[in-house]
Structure 1
Amino acid sequence: MSAPAVVDLGIADVLALLQSGQTTSVALTQEYLDRIAAYDDPYGDQPGLAAIILANPDALATAAELDAERAAGSLRGPLHGVPIVVKDNYATFDMPTTAGSIALRSYQTKVDSTAVERLRAAGAIILAKTNMAELAWHGTYTASSERGRTANPYNQANSASGSSGGTAAAVAASFGPAGLGTDSCGSIVGPSAHQSLVGYRPTMGLTSVAGIVPLSLRQDVSGPMTKTVTDAAILMEVLAGYDPADPQTVIADEQDSDIYLEGLSETALVGKRIGYFHWTFEEDPARPGLAETTALVDQAVADLAAQGAEIVDITDTFTREFVSGTLASGGWIDMRHDIDTFFANTEAEWPEGLAELTAPAGALTFTDLIEDGRSSLTQGDIDYFMSAEPIPNQAWIDAGLAQQAGRAAMYQYFLDHDLDAIAMPTSATSATPDWAGTTFCDVGANTGVPTVSLPAGFTSTGAAVGLELAAPRSQDASLLAMSYDYEQATLHRVPPASTPELDHTVPSAGGTPESPAAAPSPTLAATGPADATLQAGVAAGLLAAGGITLVVSQRRRRSHTS
């Protein structure tokens, strides 16, 4: 059975195709692998995305096993047979975990990270490990010593943002229907904004980070990067919940993670109070698009109002001083310590000789990665981390106290202003070859509140723009519902033109297209109220004349021509 057109298919779409019998997991997996082969390395006049560090060599065998189970009437869970890509700091027992470091090319853990374990238990196929900023450090671009620089598929000269730029580029280019990233300060929401995705940074502690190579355990979260809010909700129902291996997940008991899909509604914004502020940013020739981005975000906020939200001007209180002072991140004082602790506590096969490069011999450490001499980190980055004093130290203690104060201030701010959410641009400016960052990552990273970046359109140069919404802690269901209402009213996402459907009529000697060309796509028809089966967690689809009719996931299929 051949695969359908996959450009812009999301999880709910794939589930509908599988459940209707129109395709198989093997056919879909092969199509995604073909797309990786066609577009990840240089092709035509494009540099290639370099989004993938390693495709899973067992992906097709796993897909065949899941197809057989489906045919026998047995489903493992709500993601049965769905290929998913994951950032390469998520430990996988069957593939190396490099965290973007070439020194860790053969670093092989014995077990999965909790998030990957939950994906597999739900029936997902771990399709590939994605490129990332080395050790998750840079948030404005994705470059690693293992894979190099990841390109933005909307303009491959531009940055894919970071540090989860590989996952964002892979999902945007339809190397898989969805993926996982990590976010310490903008590393999910930033790449998602600059590649027209839904990037969800959940309440800190709602999803486990056990088994993920850390940047800062005080700020790290695991979350979905998807094409639709529906898909983000599907993944959140799989990922959320208490994990004994991650003490911070005790907060997961504050909410019912089974209602994320059920709560999606096209009227969720009615009566919600959303704060919006109007800071004045100065034009920067090195970071263009300020005026257009501001206009698009202003329009996005107007769209929130059109859906029934009350927009509250908070310019006088949500000030630069409040964000950059009270809510500011405490930095990454704990990076070196947290990485060393991960290596010490994670059973794994180490690259031969790596642990002997620095003292203490026989213990794999951050300094061994640096001594290897091939890191893509700058000397300034290296000096910063190497100068860190052993933890606990006074700077670490002070940063923790500042973070606690920021969390308390954010909690109180929502109460004092009676707000259900705060709206802001994910990034005030557009992607460039060297930069694609975020403007307000501290709001979520330092305070632990959930934030989401949603597609808000494109500038005249074709650069994607994101609207960021932040909600009070543990209000994830409400934030997803508001996001869904906005998404369905606007439908801004379009696929990138540089990675169209594959034309399988002209295969190369290696079995992948030499000159990929656009091919017709099936139509996705909008439907009415959500199907109860999908609301229960299995995104059901119905076969309809002229294409696939999906419930909840309602999108127009267009082409991005910029």
Structure 2
Amino acid sequence: MRRLALLLGITSALAACQGRAPPADTALPAPPTDFIYAELDIADLQARMRSGELDSRRLTQAYLERIAAIDKAGPRLNAVIELNPDALKEATLRDVERKSNAVRGPLHGIPVLLKDNIDATPMATSAGSLALKDFRPGQDATLVRRLREAGAVILGKTNLSEWANFRSMHSTSGWSARGGQTLNPYALDRNPCGSSSGSAVAVSANLVAVSIGTETDGSIICPAAVNGVVGLKPTVGLVSRSGILPISHSQDTAGPITRSVSDAAVLLGVLAGRDPSDAATINAAWNTAPDYPARLRPGALKGARIGVLRSKFGIHPDAGAAMEGAIKVMREAGATIVDAEIPTDGQWDADELELMLYEFKHGLERYLSERKAPLTTLTQLIGYNQQYQVSEMPYFGQELFEQANAKGGLGESAYITARGRARRLAGPEGIDVALRGQRLDALIAPATGPAWLTDHKAGDHFPGAGYGAAAVAGYPSLTVPMGNSDGLPLGIVFIGTAWSEARLIELGYDYEQLTRARKPPEYWPSLPSQDRRAR
């Protein structure tokens, strides 16, 4: 289902962008090419701070200037929806701690951007909706508290597909009424995918080193893949969802979006942990999260058994060709590659939508009421959109809101049946059968095809996805850059059973080190001609 494959996954910019990508022939100022921290990862930045060459305040200021130069001016990527007014103050405090030999860990002094459905004081949590533009929750989400305790600097919030793409089946990814349209930095008229659009674009364009996205079905993996970065969707229950505006408690999770697998491992190590306010983390079948950075080792592909989901190669010819190249690399690295299939593939689509409709209404109204938001019911939000439809619904409607509002409680048999069947078909009878049948460490597939043209009239021209089963099952998935299609990034996705993040990190890291497939964006207004790309 096209829309389900894209789910969850500064206000002044709205006036500048007006929700539209610039025409292909628009002359745009060239983005700065001398950004001295471009493509540096956490380890690089920490080494410079240890040597005294850099401190957190200077790094934070550099990112703020970079955001002003190419997010709010220049190509106007529109990835950042709000800056943290305390960011420089937080960075200064981290520098004071460093000088006192009180470094908290590998994230100490590292700026992080958060998707705008995650609570972080003193900023708004709006999900891109004007209805919540002034809604400022009084406390941090659990994962934000963990980031701050680890020494991270909260730089700001990123734009997203409004309501995490769960308002309409015809929405345009990367667009919100509050934030406007986020642009793909590889070709500005191409879509950034969603719903963690701003989080992926910000990392790809070096507006920040790392960011946090959220996913229900594809909203970390898809934007990471089409923006040429790494995205890691954890097992549901590994990372707390407390303080995150919800869609589905069965499938929602937050996760890292980074430029390298090593940074994703570091970030996941901070995010993972039990939380009494999120039952999924308490009931989880794990005691202590593994040391993910310790699993970053060359040679992990040697001896691995990996299943290829060839049925997904038809997503796009270039994606299939890039997968053949990836398979060759893995075989040469000593992996055994076999064809595999998920026997129940796609059989859960109707049930997935049904459970989301039920869970969205229930979870959203609980979140809004507990935090004393200005609007606390789905009925009120529907009414707001109708009242302000010129600004809120210029391109698409709210039929998913209306369908969800018509649902009853979570005790209804239709919901209970749909939830149980969807998770069973995707997980134990789907991914697990495929893995066990041939003793596989992981499954691989193209994450999706290349970015499509942004189209506010028709909505997303989504080519398909290789990650859906993991999303519905609540299992982990990891996308890593694997090549390009006429200059547009393509990503490979690694899928495993529940709690197999450490193994996916091993495999993804080794593949990344062997291929080094990421190429930074060049901010073309549209795709250049073949002759121009060849130069």
TM-score by length of 1: 0.80
1:113 aligned onto 2:138:
no
| Counterpart pick for 2:179 among 147, 156, 162 | 147
Identical amino acids, percent of aligned pairs = 35
Report the CA distance between 1:194 and its aligned residue.
0.2
2:61 corresponding residue in structure 1: 30
| Counterpart pick for 2:406 among 387, 401, 407 | 387
Rate the CA distance shift 1:84–1:197 in 2: closer, same or farther, 3 A: same
2:529 corresponding residue in structure 1: none
CA distance in 2, matches of 1:329, 1:51: 33
Rate the CA distance shift 1:561–1:245 in 2: closer, same or farther, 3 A: farther
SS in 2 for 1:342: helix
Rate the CA distance shift 1:343–1:324 in 2: closer, same or farther, 3 A: same
Report the CA distance between 1:201 and its aligned residue.
0.5
1:168 aligned onto 2:200:
yes
Correspondence list, 1:532-543, <5 A: none
CA distance in 1, matches of 2:449, 2:351: 19
| Counterpart pick for 2:382 among 352, 367, 370 | 370
1:452 corresponding residue in structure 2: 478
Rate the CA distance shift 1:416–1:326 in 2: closer, same or farther, 3 A: farther
Correspondence list, 1:130-145, <5 A: 130-137=158-165, 141-145=173-177
CA distance in 1, matches of 2:173, 2:423: 29
1:65 corresponding residue in structure 2: 93
Report the CA distance between 1:398 and its aligned residue.
1.7
Report the CA distance between 1:445 and its aligned residue.
1.1
Rate the CA distance shift 1:9–1:370 in 2: closer, same or farther, 3 A: farther
1:74 corresponding residue in structure 2: 102
- Cα distance per residue 1:107-163 (max 9 Å; x no partner): 111111011010000000000100011111259611111111110111111111000
- Cα distance per residue 1:515-549 (max 9 Å; x no partner): xxxxxxxxxxxxxxxxxxxxxxxxxxxxxxxxxxx
2:301 corresponding residue in structure 1: 269
CA distance in 2, matches of 1:175, 1:330: 35
Whether the aligned pair in 1 keeps the contact of 2:351 and 2:419 (CA below 8 Å) is no
- Cα distance per residue 1:7-61 (max 9 Å; x no partner): 2222222212212211111111111111111112353xx3x11111101111011
Rate the CA distance shift 1:277–1:412 in 2: closer, same or farther, 3 A: closer
Correspondence list, 1:52-451, <5 A: 52-137=80-165, 141-250=173-282, 252=284, 254=286, 256-279=288-311, 290-314=316-340, 317-318=341-342, 322-325=344-347, 330-331=352-353, 332-333=356-357, 334-346=359-371, 348=372, 350-351=373-374, 355=375, 364-373=376-385, 374=388, 375-376=392-393, 378-406=397-425, 407-409=427-429, 410-434=431-455, 435=460, 437=462, 438-451=464-477
Could you tell me which runs of 5 or more consecutive residues in structure 2 were left unpaired when the two chains were aligned. Answer: 1-33, 525-532
Q: What RMSD in Å do the two structures reach over aligned CA positions? A: 2.2
Whether the aligned pair in 2 keeps the contact of 1:181 and 1:222 (CA below 8 Å) is yes
SS in 1 for 2:212: strand
SS in 1 for 2:37: coil
CA distance in 1, matches of 2:159, 2:365: 21
Aligned residues: 473
- Cα distance per residue 1:49-88 (max 9 Å; x no partner): 1111101111011111111111121113331100000001
Report the CA distance between 1:301 and its aligned residue.
2.0
Whether the aligned pair in 1 keeps the contact of 2:221 and 2:447 (CA below 8 Å) is yes
- Cα distance per residue 1:362-401 (max 9 Å; x no partner): xx12222222234345243343333333433232112112
CA distance in 1, matches of 2:131, 2:534: 40
CA distance in 2, matches of 1:122, 1:210: 18
1:469 corresponding residue in structure 2: 494
More off after superposition, 84-93 vs 6-15? 6-15
Output the amino acid matched with 1:74.
Answer: A
TM-score by length of 2: 0.84
CA distance in 2, matches of 1:431, 1:457: 16
Report the CA distance between 1:282 and its aligned residue.
6.2
| Counterpart pick for 1:11 among 42, 60, 66 | 42
Whether the aligned pair in 2 keeps the contact of 1:224 and 1:236 (CA below 8 Å) is yes
Rate the CA distance shift 1:281–1:175 in 2: closer, same or farther, 3 A: closer
More off after superposition, 244-253 vs 209-218? 244-253
CA distance in 2, matches of 1:210, 1:489: 37
Rate the CA distance shift 1:145–1:22 in 2: closer, same or farther, 3 A: same
- Cα distance per residue 1:473-527 (max 9 Å; x no partner): 111111101110000000011211229xxxxxxxxxxxxxxxxxxxxxxxxxxxx
